[in-house]
Structure 1
């Protein structure tokens, strides 16, 4: 571990702001109906101290040991951040869960992490998630929790009203475990990535060295705080730099939320950057936009108006990541005067690996490594290896899995193939293994989904693919019998109906980011001769993606659940 200044650690930052900027407004939370609630640093610290005292009382009553795990299941909101801080102040370890997980995954994470309690917060579809919370697990609700959760569990405000604030400045050392961030692995089972307080502190020092942040900045929190980028940039950036955080209310109000915040720093996944572009093009066709931008004064006014309409007129640093940014998209934003920097990282390194340098044209790469990050390319397979003081402590309760990705010399094997150019900029060229990432920045392990697809007698072989698409796509080779039946109109309709039901049944048991947009049924046999399978009858995934890949976007764009290909 690199030397970490104690005053850069998370709790110490909270105490710093409590002491020096108690009256500064730092959180703005939409409450519905156009109403908002705000908090100063002093109010945040008071709430955190009261909840931390309550958690300690729970721990003492129920025999929790030091470092006990406490989970957070909620969409982004002010209470999410305060819950995390309260867990740490009480001496425990936080376990954030994505607010869209299937109940089976919720249960798996809560049981694997041995969570002793859980904050049940702002959620859609709570009725479907609730079966994943083990019976008897103590839970706490937020003011914006679903009605059922607020009826079933003690509420945040009621607890804070009756519990006295925890006194003093309880500290957590840089080497202490702060959180478990669960991420999907090659088997599809989530792995608990262990990160220390020191990891986060070093990550923020490296990040600010590349992208300066300060108290005058504003950020909108809308990507899940359970995701590593939002956690590092918003939560730990907020604690380090003291900027103001605004929260998004719903997808329907996103534009209003963005215009309220007028962020000075804005990060998004490529899919949303594309949606912004499509929104502009819907109102202003590209040909007309190009013509207007070519007129000196008019062009400047158009750029300014568009950026203001997007809520990005005050944005001084824009960034994308979690999946590759199309070069044409980067050029489009550059024409509007907005440079979008592209970053690269993983949960295992707190997303601190590479980012393009603001003001430099490094399009097509993810820029040079952050200061303090070491990179090398494995000559045997082209895999990117990296080291940094933000590298995870390991996978929780999985030493064998840890040893598979962090070698004896401390290098993290990223699973990505890459190349480094003469300027030190990194270019990601592919995946060493089958795990792929959608355009939403979520990893998908295809093998478990493929196993479920193969349970249908009419499917002889399959591949689940979709790197950089919004959702995965299933490509299935029909059995000879099914292929023959698909030639008859009546039989084809029947086959389509049962494949559609099979798709629905599988998707119901998958997390949202894993659910397939469609199934493409092909009749052409996959054989050794045509290179689709190996002599041992294993499907060649790369060959399938090479042949069918160019058609994927068109298939998805057709909006059909079942598509019959060649």
Structure 2
């Protein structure tokens, strides 16, 4: 391989010059950005960065939501031979300052005057940061370059200088520093080269039939390696049109507008979709429920046969056809009506939810990867799929298990180390194999199954090993449960913090004429606690006693932004610290005859 990301993109711009590369919302309507326009903008940003004195190997930070300008800034920096540092713009100021300082970023693109002003106020803490530039054209602030002024500086830069920089790039050059989401400790910069990323992309390209004519709706943060590599670089590699969602909240509306053919997401989206569908069905008339569950039964039966490599018989085929016409076609229309498949990653996907979508004729191919592996390393595919697993390893990746079950990796996609942290880099490897920190199994056919994060495994006081994510995923399939964290390491039994689906609880309460003043009152109501206990017991009736939740606390609102990562994974240590008194109270309660309870958060009015 003798290529770089930016050379790949510019070559494809010539190849697909007449086609649409991107779509974005402008004044309420989606507008197209052609491949030639993309190429021109990348070069404009690159020349402007050169005019600011950016040198090969220096770092450029990007702080903003997904947008075409995010891509222009990223690819423009790569064209100069620099490395980009994506930063979650929703992070707290201290976390942003840590990343900008640790990376030694010379230029930072910002999306808001407020954030830019905050950074200006702390400029003394960032001695290597020389320039702040707005990503959006309409923004202005003293001390920050407007987008117009920034690009104007590049007009005087001779085009051959940028062309020389692009040609000088090598696959081994640092392409990006991606800071880990920091579920434990301060975020570390993961060093990924052009070769790391391109090797991953080439592996994915050999597995999925995606190309020009496909449209991908982009809404996961580009600061996360999953969206960055698979939803952005890979899509440009294959000539797929990238349509930018306005926000995560706007995804349902944007789905109908864009009508994508492929999407990548984390399980939280599918969990919410599943919960909304089930609530609509269960709150509907008796006949509609019978039709729905009859259709689901037929769909599940046919899906099971297809997974086993068998074809449904005539009777089942007819039942599926009727079920599709009566129920499932409507569900797919809510997703735009053209969706060929989803790819899921970032966290485990519940088998029940995967089966539900498969029965509805919506494929979700689950995969697994890490920041340190430049994205995915295993994935289920149309040719090889096994629910409950994350698929088989990519062709270029070696996967094996350590004696304690930890997953170890080796291959061209594995990162170069942690930025300026040689000791932690050394600790992350064992005899040349990267230690993922995840435990898992590999079946005889080569399918990998993730058990849990090694550090998250619960070992009870009785010595039983428990993977909390499996239990949490099961809980979240219930219509009255929106989120959960299972607790119990070194404890005599399991407890849980449960976030209820407050909308469904309110409907239930009104139907049962249960009086409540607010959400605090609701989660402490004896009838509500009894309802959730009944649902929890039903879900865990087939589980071993040591795997069952003996006590839970209902929270009056979901875990705050400071307790989850931008891809909606729990920061378990942070949650445990934040709710330490609540968690300990559930164990002390045993001696006082107190059982499940509710907890009212101070933040709620």
TM-score, normalised to structure 2, is: 0.70
1:306 aligns to 2:331 (yes or no): yes
CA–CA separation in structure 1 for the residues paired with 2:255 and 2:356: 21
Q: How does 1:169-184 map to 2 (within 5 A)?
A: 170-171=166-167, 172-184=169-181
Tell me the residue number matched to 1:291: 294
- CA gap 1:383/1:50 in 2 versus in 1, 3 angstroms: same
Match for 1:140 among 129, 133, 137?
133
**Contact 1:143–1:157 under 8 Å retained in 2:** no
1:155 aligns to 2:146 (yes or no): yes
- CA gap 1:276/1:157 in 2 versus in 1, 3 angstroms: farther
- What's the secondary structure of 1:55's corresponding residue? helix
Tell me the residue number matched to 1:399: 422
**Contact 2:132–2:144 under 8 Å retained in 1:** yes
Tell me the residue number matched to 2:405: 382
Tell me the residue number matched to 2:492: none
Tell me the residue number matched to 2:584: 522
Q: How does 1:344-383 map to 2 (within 5 A)?
A: 344-379=368-403, 381-383=404-406
1:100 aligns to 2:90 (yes or no): yes
- CA gap 1:316/1:130 in 2 versus in 1, 3 angstroms: farther
CA–CA separation in structure 1 for the residues paired with 2:35 and 2:234: 15
CA–CA separation in structure 2 for the residues paired with 1:99 and 1:472: 26
TM-score, normalised to structure 1, is: 0.74
- What's the secondary structure of 1:308's corresponding residue? helix
Unaligned ranges ≥5, structure 2:
283-288, 299-318, 459-467, 477-481, 490-520, 525-555
- What's the secondary structure of 1:115's corresponding residue? coil
CA–CA separation in structure 2 for the residues paired with 1:338 and 1:474: 30
Tell me the residue number matched to 1:332: 356
Tell me the residue number matched to 1:424: 446
**Contact 1:352–1:390 under 8 Å retained in 2:** no
CA–CA separation in structure 1 for the residues paired with 2:106 and 2:328: 52
1:561 aligns to 2:596 (yes or no): no
- What's the secondary structure of 1:344's corresponding residue? strand
- What's the secondary structure of 1:357's corresponding residue? coil
1:255 aligns to 2:277 (yes or no): no
How big is each residue's C-alpha offset from its partner over 1:407-449, in whole Å with a ceiling of 9 and x where there is no partner? 2x3201011111111111111123322499xxxxxxxxxxxxx
CA–CA separation in structure 2 for the residues paired with 1:472 and 1:94: 35
CA–CA separation in structure 2 for the residues paired with 1:471 and 1:105: 25
- What's the secondary structure of 1:322's corresponding residue? coil
Q: CA deviation at 1:98?
A: 1.1
- CA gap 1:128/1:173 in 2 versus in 1, 3 angstroms: same
Tell me the residue number matched to 1:204: 201
Aligned pair count reads 468
CA–CA separation in structure 1 for the residues paired with 2:144 and 2:24: 22
How big is each residue's C-alpha offset from its partner over 1:26-82, in whole Å with a ceiling of 9 and x where there is no partner? 111113x413343211111111111111111112xxxx5431111000010010111
- What's the secondary structure of 1:190's corresponding residue? coil
**Contact 1:384–1:416 under 8 Å retained in 2:** yes
- CA gap 1:336/1:187 in 2 versus in 1, 3 angstroms: closer
Q: CA deviation at 1:123?
A: 9.3
- CA gap 1:253/1:431 in 2 versus in 1, 3 angstroms: closer
Q: CA deviation at 1:162?
A: 5.7
Q: How does 1:19-34 map to 2 (within 5 A)?
A: 19-31=14-26, 33-34=27-28
Tell me the residue number matched to 2:366: 342
CA–CA separation in structure 2 for the residues paired with 1:162 and 1:280: 52
- What's the secondary structure of 2:367's corresponding residue? strand
- CA gap 1:201/1:252 in 2 versus in 1, 3 angstroms: closer
Match for 1:221 among 197, 218, 221?
218
Q: CA deviation at 1:99?
A: 2.0
